[in-house]
Structure 1
Amino acid sequence: MSDTPAPIYQRVKQAIISQIRAGHWQPHQRVPSESELVTELGVSRMTINRALRELTSEGFLIRMQGVGTFVAEAKAHTALLEVHNIADEIAARGHRHSSKILQLKARAANDEEAAALDIQPGQQLFYSQIVHYENDVPVQIEDRCVNPSAAPDYMKQDFDQVTPYIYLTQAAPLTAGEHIVEAVVPTLQERELLQLDEQEPGLVIHRRTWSGKTVVTAARLLYPGSRYQLFGRFTHQR
């Protein structure tokens, strides 16, 4: 068994989780600011930011832009499949992430997209299509529709430098999500983008996320069936 210490941001996360579980930080209580935590814990602001961002995605905290970070209400139901930043997943495997932006535009929502985002058909949405690479091998095509009311500056982001996940979790903190998983036959264009053989299947995750009562984004994430597997973990509490 490895005795390598956990990364600093992971230890920060565990320290915050311990405060919440011990009842020192109550639901709806405002937690110290990033600057205060930097001083208190003696770590970098980048480390604190990453810890708070991941704890928000995992449902422990709620971040309200311009207001602060608060302890989330404890949930009585089983947690949803976690939502992660693909760049972090790739880095955790010791590999290099890169991406290529194929499309980034504002356009009118069709009926299906409007239903997914809970907006009116014809209403403007933001659309992006990005291919993600792991050590220069394509591993995901990300087709994403974004609700402009939840993420108004989406089109201004430099997605060569940050993933949509990073901006969206800051602009509209994740409070709920849903996943639908299915096997698909990729189109010719998708096979070319993912460098798939003719008979190779694709694995798709259809994901919607909410911030409060607002649907923030609806994404279609296509993976090569032979180079990717889904992993989930759950615990059973009596």
Structure 2
Amino acid sequence: MNQPAKPRFQHIKDHILDGIHRHLYVAGCKIPSELQLAQDFGVSRMTVNKALCELADEGVLLRFAGDGTYVAENKIAAPLLDMNNIQQEISARSHQHVAELVHLYALEADAETAQYLETEPGTALYYSLIVHREDGQAVQLEERFVQAQWAPGYLQQDFSAQTPNEFLLKNSQLTDAEHTIRAVMPATREQLLLEIGAQEPCLLVLRRSWSHKNLVSFAKLWHPGNRYSLHSRVPLGD
């Protein structure tokens, strides 16, 4: 009995998967464009798009609007896996988390923010400012700048239901994060939103997050020093 003909898009999927298996396309490598693949296989771009979308849904490829399609890493970097967001931390303590959205809008990068995001002043960004509470007490003020091109849909999210970090992990496919921690005195805005006095120091975490080669987000996370602590446990060598 004759086998049914393989769909055209499946031929493209098999070609890409074979290329990955034979290390012609390695993790982080950009694959040929939709137009190039359509010409190579003699099919429409719609057929190519179906193949690439299925491979992206399966976690094999990463697609970036205006940039191209890349081979995904085998797994997210370990440091990011160990980094819980504030909602997870609070839930792990069997406490109630509430997020109060203060601001959510689009803006253009100023010189300072552009430097943190390694982009040009005037770049389109999304901005959010959120107070995170644990059992009613403010424990974190999250100020976040996101490069608009890497986070479509950011302004339409309900950040009382999921944190920006959770949204970006799922939708922008973050792979790496960098942290800088400082002890600072709160300015008037932080005092009011965190409900602390002018002489109460804060822990300020500066977090930059990447999706492979793309720097997606820069966040400032203020924590009242008398309500919050940061800790880490890592294995040591002999």
Letter matched to residue 153 of structure 2 = D
Letter matched to residue 177 of structure 1 = A
Change in CA separation of 1:203 and 1:214 when aligned onto 2, cut-off 3 Å: same
CA RMSD of aligned residues (A): 2.5
CA deviations 1:7-60 (Å, max 9, x no partner) are xxxxxxxxxxxxxxxxxxxx97xxxxxxxxxxxxxxxxxxxxxxxxxxxxxxxx
Matched, 1:98 2:98: yes
Partner of 1:174: 174
How many residues in Structure 1 have an aligned counterpart in Structure 2? 176
Change in CA separation of 1:191 and 1:169 when aligned onto 2, cut-off 3 Å: same
SS in 2 for 1:228: coil
Partner of 1:84: 84
Between the aligned partners of 1:224 and 1:131, the Cα distance in structure 2 is 12
Between the aligned partners of 2:234 and 2:80, the Cα distance in structure 1 is 10
TM-score (norm 1): 0.68
Change in CA separation of 1:74 and 1:97 when aligned onto 2, cut-off 3 Å: closer
Larger of the two Rg values belongs to structure: 2
Partner of 1:35: none
Change in CA separation of 1:174 and 1:226 when aligned onto 2, cut-off 3 Å: same
Q: Is the 8 A contact 2:104 2:155 kept in 1?
A: yes
Partner of 1:224: 224
Matched, 1:213 2:189: no
Partner of 1:68: 58
Letter matched to residue 92 of structure 1 = A
Between the aligned partners of 1:205 and 1:65, the Cα distance in structure 2 is 36
Between the aligned partners of 1:185 and 1:65, the Cα distance in structure 2 is 48
| Correspondences of 1:168-207 after superposition (within 5 Å) | 168-207=168-207
Letter matched to residue 69 of structure 1 = G
Q: Is the 8 A contact 1:65 1:171 kept in 2?
A: no
Q: For structure 2, which runs of at least 5 residues remain unmatched after alignment? A: 1-25, 28-53, 61-71
SS in 2 for 1:145: strand
Change in CA separation of 1:184 and 1:65 when aligned onto 2, cut-off 3 Å: farther
Change in CA separation of 1:168 and 1:191 when aligned onto 2, cut-off 3 Å: same
Between the aligned partners of 1:74 and 1:134, the Cα distance in structure 2 is 31
Between the aligned partners of 2:73 and 2:231, the Cα distance in structure 1 is 25
Q: Is the 8 A contact 2:132 2:138 kept in 1?
A: yes
Partner of 1:144: 144
Letter matched to residue 59 of structure 2 = T
Partner of 2:22: none
Letter matched to residue 231 of structure 1 = H
Partner of 1:164: 164
